[in-house]
């Protein structure tokens, strides 16, 4: 059967990029995560599961702090016009109140190099780890964290604002608070509803305070968060499933965004999951899934975008991708998802950019080095970057501003 090949042009000025975070790629960091990764407790936990602790220690990660030019080359080869990365609080402020000026200069120069290649920097100010001194003060549960975070933000934005317009204060606050304070899987491994709710409150306050700090330094800046949203679909639209969907939407997708709505210029969407809400029914089985077993449902990004329309802000897809070492599904997944993104744009949703997660293979938190999210494969012994075939596929999209 003959079917017309699909081909969709994106709006002029659309941003095409990839995303990373400091702890996952840079290497050489000392923060609450690195200490946990090398702790006796963690070692024993991994041993008991028959896993090698070395595979779960970020260490040099992808060595990006040293290999920054190699990363920039990957972006250039992709024809990317934007790059989302983070600065790690512990690198900038290793001791309370002592700021590492050479580290700030490092980022200034890095950003200038990006700009020289016409790559728009999107800087995340917090992508999960915290400095040890902040951990010792009670981390995100402490009342003081909002003050300390704002001071750190002021320092970073003060140093880099000449070359940066887009700032993301926080990455996925709901994921972090639930994994670290409710499920107790990530440091500081708490399991307490009270702590969970308290941390969410602090994160909201931290965002709001940071927003004002950034605007004071640069009124023309664009500030937002990177928010992990799930598209909850009520199975067969049954009323009980719809109720469950609304509750899940309210708690996971909307609550935080509503709280920061008046202190955000844009919404950053990190999209990975479709969830079929089916009370009392069996779990949905997806046709294709990633190496982490995450079901792939590319079309649902359309609905996730539609649901963000209520916030009346421009939307950037600040993360979207999959663990796929063999690169079996990545091009298909990107293509199908972007068709859905294009449909949303056609219907008037103001999507302004797409950042693939991730530019390069990296350290995937509690899952260690096994999941491979990169458009570029990294050899963790030599740190060589090698394009997967999906990188060429994506480069074509970035270059032509078109998905076919
Ligand atoms: C996080 C990334 C992570 C990715 C894949 C997002 O939740 O922001 O740090 O590597 O998902 O799991």
Considering only CA atoms, give the Rg of the chain.
20
Per residue in 225-265, pLDDT (tens digit) is 999 999 999 999 999 999 999 999 999 999 999 999 999 99
pLDDT score at 2: 52
Q: What is the mean pLDDT of the chain?
A: 97
Give me the sign of the Cα torsion angle 52, 58, 60, 62. Answer: positive
Q: How far is the CA of 365 from the centre of ligand 1 (A)?
A: 8
The rounded Å distance from CA 293 to ligand 1 centre is 15
Provide the pLDDT confidence category of residue 174 given band limits of 50, 70 and 90.
Answer: very high
Mean pLDDT (whole number) for 340-351: 98
Q: Please, which residues have CB within 8 angstroms of residue 267's CB and are 6 or more apart in sequence?
A: 224, 225, 227, 257, 308, 311, 313, 314, 315, 316
Question: 272-283, pLDDT tens digit by residue?
Answer: 999 999 998 888
Confidence of residue 58 (pLDDT cuts 50, 70, 90): very high
Give tens-digit pLDDT for 135-144: 999 999 999 9
The Å distance, Cα 3 to ligand 1 centre, comes to 36
Protein residue with least CA distance to atom 12, ligand 1: 364
* Position in ligand 1 atom list of the atom nearest CA 364: 10
- Residue 2 belongs to some domain of the structure: no
Phi/psi for 258 (5° steps) reads -65, -40
Write the DSSP symbol of residue 183: S
* Residue 1 covered by a domain: no
86-108 pLDDT per residue, tens = 999 999 999 999 999 999 999 99
Residue 100 domain-assigned? Answer: yes
> Which residues on neighbouring strands pair with residue 202, listed in sequence order?
none
Contacts of 47 (CB under 8 A, 6+ apart): 53
In a domain, 394, yes or no: yes
Instruction: Report how far residue 283's alpha carbon sits from residue 30's, in angstroms, rounded to the nearest whole number.
Output: 40
Question: Which protein residue has the closest C-alpha to ligand 1 atom 10?
Answer: 364
CATH code of residue 341:
3.20.20.80
Residue 5: pLDDT band by 50, 70, 90 thresholds?
Answer: confident
Reported residue count of the chain is 404
Asked if residues 124 and 21 have their Cβ atoms less than 8 Å apart, the reply is yes
Token readout for 124 is 């995340």
Mean pLDDT for 325-345 is: 98
Question: Crossing angle of helices 193-217/145-160, nearest 10°?
Answer: 30
Out of 360, 364, 367, mutate this one to test ligand 1's pocket (max ligand atoms within 8 Å of CB): namely 364
Residue 355 has pLDDT above 60, yes or no: yes
In this prediction, residue 282 carries a pLDDT of 87
Structural domains counted in the chain: 1
Residue 197 lies in a domain: yes
Q: Whose CA is nearest to atom 5 of ligand 1?
A: 364
Instruction: Tell whether ligand 1 has an atom less than 6 A from the beta carbon of residue 84.
Output: no
Q: What is the span of the domain harbouring residue 15? A: 8-403
pLDDT at position 1 over 70: no
What are the pLDDT digits (tens) for 12-40? 999 999 999 999 999 999 999 999 999 99
Q: Is residue 3 in a domain? A: no
CA distances to 147, 152, 181, 369 from 133, rounded to whole Å, are 14, 13, 19, 27
Model confidence at 70, pLDDT cuts 50, 70, 90, reads very high
Comparing CA positions, the residue from 358, 399, 362, 352 lying closest to residue 165 is 352
Q: Name which of 154, 96, 147, 157 is nearest 121 in CA terms.
A: 157
DSSP per-residue letters across 188-223: T----HHHHHHHHHHHHHHHHHHHHHHHHH-TT-EE
Identify the H or E element spanning 120.
Answer: strand 120-124
Q: Tell me what percent of the residues of the chain surpass a pLDDT of 90.
A: 98
**Residues linked to residue 376 through DSSP beta bridges, in sequence order:** 360, 387
CA distance 55 to 229: 29
pLDDT tier, 158 (very low <50, low <70, confident <90, very high otherwise): very high
338, part of any domain? yes
In a domain, 322, yes or no: yes
């Amino acid at each position: 059967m003959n079917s017309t090949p699909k081909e969709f042009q994106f709006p002029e000025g659309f941003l095409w990029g990839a995303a990373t975070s400091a702890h996952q790629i840079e290497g050489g960091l000392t923060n609450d995560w690195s200490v946990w990764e090398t702790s006796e407790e963690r070692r024993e936990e991994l041993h008991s599961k028959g896993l090698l602790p070395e595979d779960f220690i970020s260490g040099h990660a992808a060595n990006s702090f040293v290999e920054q030019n190699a990363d920039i080359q990957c972006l250039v080869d992709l024809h990317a016009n934007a790059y989302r990365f983070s600065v790690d609080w512990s690198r900038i402020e290793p001791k309370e109140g002592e700021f590492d000026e050479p580290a700030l200069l490092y980022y200034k120069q890095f950003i200038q190099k990006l700009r020289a290649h016409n790559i728009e920097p999107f800087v995340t100010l917090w992508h999960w780890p915290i400095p040890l001194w902040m951990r010792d003060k009670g981390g995100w549960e402490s009342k003081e964290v909002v003050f300390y975070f704002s001071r750190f933000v002021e320092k970073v934005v003060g140093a880099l604002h000449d070359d940066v317009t887009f700032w993301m204060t926080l990455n996925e606050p709901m994921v972090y608070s639930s994994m670290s304070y409710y499920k107790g899987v990530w440091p500081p491994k708490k399991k307490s509803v009270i702590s969970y709710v308290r941390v969410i409150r602090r994160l909201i306050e931290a965002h709001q305070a940071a927003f004002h700090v950034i605007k004071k330094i640069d009124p023309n800046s664009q500030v937002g968060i990177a928010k992990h949203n799930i598209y909850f679909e009520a199975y067969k639209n049954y009323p009980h499933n719809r109720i469950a969907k609304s509750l899940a939407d309210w708690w996971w997708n909307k609550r935080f965004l509503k709280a920061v709505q008046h202190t955000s210029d844009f919404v950053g969407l990190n999209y990975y999951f479709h969830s079929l809400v089916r009370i009392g029914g069996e779990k949905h089985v997806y046709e294709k899934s990633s190496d982490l077993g995450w079901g792939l449902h590319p079309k649902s990004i359309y609905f996730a975008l539609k649901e963000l329309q209520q916030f009346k802000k421009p939307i950037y897809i600040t993360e979207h991708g999959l663990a796929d070492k063999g690169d079996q599904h990545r091009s298909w997944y990107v293509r199908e998802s972007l068709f859905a993104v294009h449909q949303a744009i056609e219907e008037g949703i103001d999507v302004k950019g797409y950042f693939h997660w991730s530019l390069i293979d990296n350290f995937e938190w509690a899952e260690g080095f096994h999941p491979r999210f990169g458009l570029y494969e990294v050899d963790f012994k030599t740190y060589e970057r090698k394009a997967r075939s999906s990188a060429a596929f994506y480069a074509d999209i970035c270059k032509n501003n078109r998905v076919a």
